[in-house]
Amino acid sequence: MNEQLAKVAEAMVAPGKGILAADESTGTIKKRFDSINTDSTEDNRRDYREMLFRTTGAMREHISGVILFDETIRQKAKDGTPLAKVIADTGAFPGIKVDTGAKDLAHSSGEKVTEGLDGLRERVAEYVELGAKFAKWRAVINIGAGLPSHNAIHANAHALARYAAICQEGGLVPIVEPEVLMDGDHDIDTCYNVTTWALKETYLELFYAGVRLEGTILKPNMVISGTTNSNRAGVEEVAEKTVRVLKNCVPASVPGICFLSGGQSDEEATAHLSAMNAAYDMPWTLSFSYGRALQHAALNAWGGKAENEAAAQAAFAHRARMNGLAAQGKWTEAMEKEAA
């Protein structure tokens, strides 16, 4: 089992490929659909995601896996094919979000802990039957006055480790996602210090839980200034400080690191990833696991109308190609001017 998990994890970070995060909760995708004046019905959600998964060229060339929501992994395409099979037929792995969301952490005002460990072993077994090859669990770390606390860092790291161990036992590669949020006016050095703390605590807990790192993927934030900081760090500084944190914290036995976009713009997320791959030698593959930064242009081009599918698929294919190039350090700003 451990060998098989390691093989899946390695394939998930194949050169020029990354992960499409399409695991928006029902509430989150409703907000996305509201922005394009489209009702968030089960059929509309299915049609939108099927459109992305059937962008076959982009999926085959640049997407190694797709993270799905519980509803989506159970859905069938218009022609009756399970959506998990539509994904698998492109050569990508279907994956599943298994946490039940970030909830308020007791006695830690302004902080969250991710829940979902109860019944996880049974859910993992069911998702394997539905075709999943990997799983995702997102922890959320806030930066603010007196935050984060050790309580929040430790509680989230411990939950991530327990989740990862259960997934590996059940046959799924766990994506370990300790996200230090961009929200706030903090500078890049504060993000650097908090990200270091979160990653060190996470890998300590993974060790205690007996998790085999060769069969995992790390999905971290980049080290970046807060969204409302008046002096935001540039691309080169983000790349240098992110790589430095990773080299200080992430064991070389981890096959790959797939960044979340975390609220960055489409091009910003691509530029940062490419800068890291172009300038630094690292023991692991650096790639992407983007949601909004892969989907935003496609969602707007689609606008909830079937007649716009070709334009939406072209927009998705363009972003997938740009990030595939960034995962190899080959992206340039000039490439963005090419027709999507």
Distance between CA atoms of residues 104 and 140, nearest Å: 11
- CATH code, domain with 245: 3.20.20.70
pLDDT at 340: 42
DSSP 40-101: --HHHHHHHHHHHHT-HHHHHHHEEEEEE-HHHHT-B-TTS-BHHHHHHTTTPEEEEE----
Distance between CA atoms of residues 170 and 217, nearest Å: 16
**Which residues form the domain of 46?**
2-337
Number of domains in the chain: 1
Beta strands in the chain (DSSP E): 18-22, 63-68, 93-97, 102-104, 112-114, 134-141, 173-180, 217-218, 256-259, 285-290
pLDDT at 337: 82
**The model scores a pTM over 0.95:** yes
pLDDT at 189: 98
pLDDT in tens, the chain (340 residues): 689 999 999 999 999 999 999 999 999 999 999 999 999 999 999 999 999 999 999 999 999 999 999 999 999 999 999 999 999 999 999 999 999 999 999 999 999 999 999 999 999 999 999 999 999 999 999 999 999 999 999 999 999 999 999 999 999 999 999 999 999 999 999 999 999 999 999 999 999 999 999 999 999 999 999 999 999 999 999 999 999 999 999 999 999 999 999 999 999 999 999 999 999 999 999 999 999 999 999 999 999 999 999 999 999 999 999 999 999 999 999 999 875 4
pLDDT at 209: 98
Q: Which positions are catalytic?
A: 177, 219
